[in-house]
């Protein structure tokens, strides 16, 4: 396998993912983590936000030098190799961000079969100004900055091959993994499933586990995987926390019956969530309250199930990275519930079988496991539900409004064939009221925003170019059918700089 060592770049997991796409198993570890050194055939050092000369800058772990396997340093990884072997890194006058052309100056296995010049994606303030003694410079940028060098078993590149904007990025990764490390590319998600099931069986043994089923893609796939692994020692619980979409409870019941042929335990926790959330406006506080209350409900449910020892969560990689629960050096964006939103004193051991996968990989695993497409291709729905789509405080009245608006928008997308063309669509209730005219009367009602995005991994997204006629249809229905809404707007912001959800 290829080990990816994380120094805190937002893109680290993409490296592992690109390698898996090529058909080679790869996993991410932290730079300061104790790890099992078996079966490592190559190492990648990720990018990161620090300068290599900063006081607390993360260091390359010693085993990297002991293993004597091929090492690829990306961005910060390149700079830390340079520093270790006594080259020089400096803040140059030019910082390179975004698309940057590089030119290959010397042959290298890393760039085999690639053109002499092509565009790469850069994101660096510091640059390598002197390579280690004996190293060969392989490429430079159009600003004459060193873009790549080779030194013994070390390969270094300043740009990010894992980002899609780097032309031939996948070829470079493949050259490293297959040609330089010599690994055959035969691994598949089927192997992931087999390994995971075995791993879970070993870990859980005859103990009991409960899973939080939300009816979303991630928890459905996690449930089926777990059920394959431990059968009836798994109990599925669905918490109705009052922050669900219209008809969600019934939909989830039927989904669950369809995929697992089992009955679902539904817990009515509406009162307790709404009480705890009363008058709370601050987004992170909402997330924390919901995360905590979830766990408390599950603790109570586990007591009814022979004191289940494990709690299974459908956490996937984008949740992990944006909560910065993985990279200690990664900036925290928000506390995704499942990860950053959970309390510290938990009476369970948590198992997250899909933690290293991206959404589309999760869907592929689901297809292999035989889960019907209409379930796998439901739009993502966040754990904290409508709570993070009602800006400011949550009331039952606001929930009722938002459920209806959301339902009309989704129905419109389904009716017009747009539901499956976009990655995720939903409505947001703003706390703003504006003036309107209804009949001959003045009105003063809420503004709702429709949001629809196109994305592959949820890490970046662009707003969907839905035709005006479709938006018009939704807008008319909303203002005609939903009391309390006076104005409909469409959100045209990409991620970054915004996020997909509003809170
Ligand atoms: P953001 O808003 O961070 O969302 O750009 C990226 C994707 O993650 C979903 N999301 C969540 N999913 N728990 C989840 O299970 C959460 O707390 C959470 N917050 C956001 C969001 O809907 C989008 O698909």
Task: List CB contacts of 333: < 8 A, sequence separation 6 or more.
Answer: 322, 323, 324, 499
**Cross-strand pairs, 148:** 139, 157
Q: Which domain holds residue 146?
A: 2-180
Ligand 1 pocket member 10 (CB < 6 A)? no
The answer to whether the CB of 161 falls within 8 A of the CB of 167 is no
Q: CB pairs under 8 A, 24+ apart, for 443-448?
A: 443/486, 444/486, 445/484, 445/485, 445/486, 445/487, 446/401, 446/484, 446/485, 446/486, 446/487, 447/485, 447/486, 447/487, 447/488, 447/489, 448/401, 448/402, 448/405, 448/478, 448/485, 448/487, 448/488, 448/489
Do 348 and 430 lie in one domain? The reply is no
Query: Measured between alpha carbons, how far is 115 from 102 in angstroms, rounded to an integer?
Result: 10
Task: List CB contacts of 29: < 8 A, sequence separation 6 or more.
Answer: 3, 4, 5, 6, 35
Q: Does residue 441 form part of some domain?
A: yes
Do 394 and 256 lie in one domain? The reply is no
Q: How far is CA 328 from CA 2, 34, 51, 323, 500, in A?
A: 21, 15, 16, 10, 23
Report the separation in Å between the CA atom of 475 and the middle of ligand 1, taken as the mean of its atom positions.
Answer: 25
Largest CA distance in the chain: 83
Ligand 1 pocket member 499 (CB < 6 A)? yes
Query: Measured between alpha carbons, how far is 309 from 313 in angstroms, rounded to an integer?
Result: 13
Q: Does residue 503 form part of some domain?
A: no
Query: Measured between alpha carbons, how far is 253 from 38 in angstroms, rounded to an integer?
Result: 44
Atom of ligand 1 nearest to the CA of 314: 15
**Helix intervals (H) in 141-260:** 169-174, 189-204, 217-230, 248-260
Q: Does residue 495 form part of some domain?
A: no
β strands within 109-168, DSSP E:
117-130, 136-141, 146-151, 154-157
Residues noted as catalytic: 75, 160, 162
The answer to whether the CB of 43 falls within 8 A of the CB of 69 is yes
Q: At which residue do the structure tokens 């700089």 appear?
A: 497
- How does pLDDT run along the chain (503 residues), one tens digit per residue? 999 999 998 889 889 999 999 999 998 888 998 888 989 999 999 999 889 999 889 999 999 999 999 999 999 999 999 999 999 999 888 888 888 999 999 999 999 999 999 999 998 889 999 999 999 999 999 999 999 999 999 999 999 999 888 999 999 999 999 999 999 999 999 999 999 999 999 999 999 999 988 888 999 999 999 999 999 999 999 999 999 999 988 888 888 888 777 668 999 999 999 999 999 999 999 999 999 998 899 889 888 988 899 999 998 887 776 665 444 556 666 677 665 566 777 788 889 999 889 888 999 999 999 998 888 999 999 889 999 999 999 999 999 999 999 999 999 999 999 999 999 999 999 999 999 999 899 999 999 999 999 997 787 889 999 999 999 999 999 999 999 999 999 999 998 889 999 99
Q: Does residue 87 form part of some domain?
A: yes
Report the separation in Å between the CA atom of 381 and the middle of ligand 1, taken as the mean of its atom positions.
Answer: 7
Do 137 and 228 lie in one domain? The reply is no
Do 203 and 123 lie in one domain? The reply is no
Of 351, 376, 401, which residue constitutes the final position of a domain? Answer: 376
CA atoms within 13 A on the CB side of 222: 29
Do 9 and 125 lie in one domain? The reply is yes
Of 160, 180, 200, which residue constitutes the final position of a domain? Answer: 180
Report the separation in Å between the CA atom of 382 and the middle of ligand 1, taken as the mean of its atom positions.
Answer: 5
Interface ipTM > 0.90: yes
Q: Does residue 268 form part of some domain?
A: yes
Query: Measured between alpha carbons, how far is 244 from 284 in angstroms, rounded to an integer?
Result: 19
Q: Does residue 109 form part of some domain?
A: yes
Do 225 and 351 lie in one domain? The reply is yes
Query: Measured between alpha carbons, how far is 19 from 176 in angstroms, rounded to an integer?
Result: 10
Do 168 and 218 lie in one domain? The reply is no
In terms of phi and psi (left: phi > 0; alpha: psi -120 to 50; beta: otherwise), the region of 5 is beta
List the CATH number of the domain containing 150: 3.40.50.880
Residue 307 backbone phi and psi in degrees, to 5: 50, 55
Query: Measured between alpha carbons, how far is 470 from 231 in angstroms, rounded to an integer?
Result: 45
Ligand 1 pocket member 458 (CB < 6 A)? yes
Do 366 and 236 lie in one domain? The reply is yes
Do 166 and 223 lie in one domain? The reply is no
Do 242 and 336 lie in one domain? The reply is yes
Do 158 and 175 lie in one domain? The reply is yes
Residue having the nearest C-alpha atom to atom 24 of ligand 1: 380
CA atoms within 13 A on the CB side of 38: 1
Q: Does residue 496 form part of some domain?
A: no
Confirm whether pTM is higher than 0.90: no
Residue having the nearest C-alpha atom to atom 16 of ligand 1: 336
Report the separation in Å between the CA atom of 336 and the middle of ligand 1, taken as the mean of its atom positions.
Answer: 6
List the CATH number of the domain containing 201: 3.40.50.620
Ligand 1 pocket member 337 (CB < 6 A)? yes
- Supply the pLDDT for residue 326: 45
Atom of ligand 1 nearest to the CA of 495: 5
Number of domains in the chain: 3
Q: Does residue 337 form part of some domain?
A: yes
Do 430 and 469 lie in one domain? The reply is yes
List the CATH number of the domain containing 411: 3.30.300.10
Atom of ligand 1 nearest to the CA of 322: 3
- Supply the pLDDT for residue 330: 61
Tokens of 194: 């087999």
Virtual torsion, Cα 409, 415, 421, 427, nearest 10 deg: 0
Query: Measured between alpha carbons, how far is 175 from 417 in angstroms, rounded to an integer?
Result: 41
Q: Give the residue among 153, 231, 150, 154 at the shortest CA–CA distance from 197.
A: 231
Of 180, 204, 235, which residue constitutes the final position of a domain? Answer: 180
């Amino acid at each position: 396998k290829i080990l990816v060592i994380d120094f805190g770049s937002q893109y680290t997991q993409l490296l592992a993912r690109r390698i898996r796409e090529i058909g080679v198993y790869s996993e991410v570890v932290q730079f300061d983590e104790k790890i099992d050194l078996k079966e490592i055939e190559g190492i990648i050092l990720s990018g990161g936000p620090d300068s290599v000369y900063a006081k607390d800058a993360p260091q390359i772990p010693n085993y990297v030098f002991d293993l004597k396997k091929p090492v690829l340093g990306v961005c910060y990884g390149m700079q830390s190799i340079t520093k270790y072997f006594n080259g020089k890194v400096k803040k140059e006058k030019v910082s390179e961000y975004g698309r940057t052309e590089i030119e290959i100056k010397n042959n290298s296995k890393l760039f085999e079969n690639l053109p002499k010049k092509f565009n790469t994606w850069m994101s660096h303030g510091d640059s390598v100004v002197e390579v280690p003694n004996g190293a060969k410079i392989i490429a430079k940028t159009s600003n004459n900055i060193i873009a790549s060098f080779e030194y013994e078993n070390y390969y270094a590149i300043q740009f990010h091959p894992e980002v899609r904007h780097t032309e031939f990025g996948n070829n470079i990764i493949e050259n490293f993994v297959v040609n330089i490390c010599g690994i055959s590319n035969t691994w598949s998600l089927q192997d992931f499933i087999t390994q995971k099931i075995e791993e879970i069986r070993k870990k859980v043994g005859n103990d009991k586990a409960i899973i939080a089923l939300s009816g979303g893609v991630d928890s459905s796939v996690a449930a089926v995987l777990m059920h394959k692994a431990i059968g009836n020692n798994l109990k599925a619980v669905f918490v109705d926390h009052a922050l669900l979409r219209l008809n969600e409870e019934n939909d989830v019941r039927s989904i669950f019956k369809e995929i697992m042929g089992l009955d679902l335990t539904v817990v009515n926790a509406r009162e307790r969530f709404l009480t705890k959330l009363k008058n709370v406006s601050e987004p992170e506080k909402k997330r924390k309250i919901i995360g905590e209350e979830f766990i408390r409900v599950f603790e109570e449910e586990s007591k009814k199930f022979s004191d289940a020892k494990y709690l299974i969560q459908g956490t996937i990689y984008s949740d992990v990275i944006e909560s910065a629960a993985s990279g200690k050096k990664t900036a925290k964006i928000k506390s995704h519930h499942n990860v950053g939103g959970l309390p510290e004193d938990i009476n369970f051991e948590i198992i997250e079988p899909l933690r290293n996968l991206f959404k589309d990989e999760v869907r592929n695993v689901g297809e292999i496991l035989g889960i019907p497409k209409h379930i796998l291709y439901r739009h993502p729905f966040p754990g904290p539900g409508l709570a993070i789509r009602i800006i400011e405080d949550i009331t039952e009245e606001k929930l009722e409004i938002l459920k209806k608006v959301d339902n009309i928008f989704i129905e419109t997308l389904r009716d017009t064939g747009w539901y499956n063309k976009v990655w995720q669509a939903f409505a947001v209730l703003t706390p703003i009221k504006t003036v309107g005219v209804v009949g001959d009367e003045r009105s003063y009602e809420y503004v709702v925003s429709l949001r629809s995005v196109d994305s592959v991994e949820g890490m970046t997204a662009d707003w969907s170019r839905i035709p005006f006629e479709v938006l018009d249809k939704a807008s008319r229905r909303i203002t005609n059918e939903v009391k309390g809404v006076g104005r409909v707007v469409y959100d045209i912001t990409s991620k970054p700089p915004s996020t997909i959800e509003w809170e």
